[in-house]
Amino acid sequence: MSPRPGIPPIKNVEPQHTGVRVLLALILALFVSACATKAGLKEDVETQPMSYALAPATEGLLAGLAETIESEHGLDRSGFHVLDSSIDGLYWRLALIDSATTSLDIMTYLWYPDASGILVLERAILASLRGVKVRLVVDDLILHGHDQLIANLNAAPNIEFRMFNPWKNRTSIATRGGEMLAQMERLNTRMHDKLMIADGHAAVIGGRNIGDHYFGLHESYNFHDTDLFGIGAIARQSNAMFDNFWNSEWVVSAEALTTEPNREIAREQRQSIQEFIRDSEQLESFPREPKDWTAELTEYASDLRIGRSKVVYDEASADQIKQTMGASMFNFFNMAEKELLVQNAYIIPSDKAFELLNDLKDRGVKVRILTNSLASHDVPAVNSHYEPWRDDFLHAGVDLWEFRSNPAIQQTVVDVAPVSAEFTGLHSKCAVVDRRYSFIGSMNLDPRSLNINTEMGAFIDSPALAEDLAAMIERNMSGENSWNVQFDEAGDIVWVNSEETVSKQPARDGMQRVMNVLMKVGPKEQY
């Protein structure tokens, strides 16, 4: 059978398996869907219509803030903030949703049915009810079981829901697994991008998916992550990227689902969502209902860092993903003349990477890198394939740091009251060159991000923003928050923090060490 229109074949891609980095937490009854025995995609569906972002709003809070920035600094400028803390990551997303007057575009790799995921969804629904055009693009990786909700959302006024690279067989995990085996090439490619745009004037770009792990609200573990908040030209640049995916053959409208909208179930789902938000203790630090953000955003805007931006992304073309992010990141690092600071959660380097590092060393560039330790890792396989390169990093002159699972910033930056998680992991992807240029995005430094998934980010020319981001990274590169990886006098690797020096890589427990060994046999190209 030929592929259904809207689901392209992939050319020139080696067979691959998923290498998923997340726990598939399909857990809350709020997103309960009718258990359709014939859930799937229709065989014959008309090609979805091309559509594009609305023109930037001419009125409203965000339009006014953007106009001020552009009138004072130029049409090619934006104002920026680094969203360092978990609470800010969710707080300012809610501010954009509530402040939108004409349009709201959201794309994400993961959208969990948990407290933060439900809160963001409800706010987007409320935005649509006041006339805002809402477009949602979500990777299909963890959407299993939610077809009824998706169909109901898509049928609602002012909401369109599209899925990136969806499974055709949607009845059960078993049928999805069978399709994965049969169509490994296609289904292995996932959309790892994270983006929110409001009114064509404000955007959030970065590493955070929509879910409790990313906003400090999970009791098991929370991520330290980084986003970029921007008002001005960066939003228009982001619109172009969003439209590329929205209109690509990789993205399929919810109208293609065999599950039909159901008003009665929709009412029950909405009631469950509202009841959960009202009663949730996890959400006590956030406004549970929409509010006027004029005072908060006006004050926030007064301290924005002004600069130029370039939004970069892997393009979703008709028959394959055009991988350009790897070259973009390589060129960015190679710009360094004095200093390169890198904070990246998942690093599996290549020989080419070390050619660059050695070249930077020869040029006198100071390179400092922070990544996860085995102890802070949520993906043991990545550490398994990063581990053999530690010696090479040190020989290349890199000041190498690995994140602690119990960093000092956990209570102030990561966890959000009333939550106190068991441990913290690093999920951030950012870098600073020469205290002038910054990168913040979704791009990990591993084969999956380089060669398989789609990625995005923003390069920013702003010395003030670069200093802010550098200060954050250097705070994390301290003994209170990370281990400094060094050679001892005998030439053996040791890990040094503010309390101790150890000769065995830190781990949370013995099972982590076992998994770290077992995963060495896996194909590093998948991680």
State the Cα–Cα distance between residues 396 and 503, nearest whole angstrom.
21
State the Cα–Cα distance between residues 292 and 98, nearest whole angstrom.
7
> Phi/psi at 82 (nearest 5 deg)?
-85, 125
CA atoms within 13 A on the CB side of 283: 21
Which residue has tokens 């006014």? 64
Per-residue pLDDT, 9: 31
Per-residue pLDDT, 7: 29
State the Cα–Cα distance between residues 439 and 416, nearest whole angstrom.
26
State the Cα–Cα distance between residues 339 and 328, nearest whole angstrom.
18
Residues 6+ apart with CB under 8 A from 382: 21, 346, 347, 348, 372, 446, 527
Q: How far is CA 122 from CA 118, 127, 253, 258, 467, in A?
A: 6, 9, 20, 24, 36
Helix (H, G, I), strand (E, B) or coil at 41: strand
Query: Which secondary structure element, helix H or strand E, spans residue 51, and what is its range?
Result: none
Average pLDDT, consecutive stretches of 10 residues, N- to C-terminus, the chain (527 residues): 30 30 33 52 81 97 98 97 98 98 98 98 98 98 95 98 95 88 91 98 98 98 98 97 96 96 97 97 97 97 97 90 96 98 97 96 98 96 96 98 98 97 98 98 97 97 98 98 98 97 97 94 87
Which residue has tokens 């209902």? 289
State the Cα–Cα distance between residues 233 and 376, nearest whole angstrom.
36
Q: Is 203 exposed, middle or buried (0-12, 13-18, 19+ CB in 10 A)?
A: buried
State the Cα–Cα distance between residues 407 and 386, nearest whole angstrom.
21
Helix (H, G, I), strand (E, B) or coil at 429: strand
- CATH 3.30.870.10 residue ranges in the chain? 78-301, 309-526
311 touches 243 (CB < 8 A):
no
If one looks up domain 309-526 in CATH, what number appears?
A: 3.30.870.10
The CATH number for 78-301, chosen from 3.40.50.360, 3.30.450.40, 3.30.420.40, 3.30.870.10, is 3.30.870.10
Q: Which two tokens stand for residue 308?
A: 């130029």
Q: pTM of the predicted model, to two decimals?
A: 0.92
Helices marked H in 102-218: 115-129, 147-155, 173-182, 184-187
152 touches 310 (CB < 8 A):
no
Q: How far is CA 119 from CA 94, 156, 204, 419, 470, in A?
A: 9, 18, 17, 17, 32
Report the DSSP beta bridge partners of residue 460.
309, 438
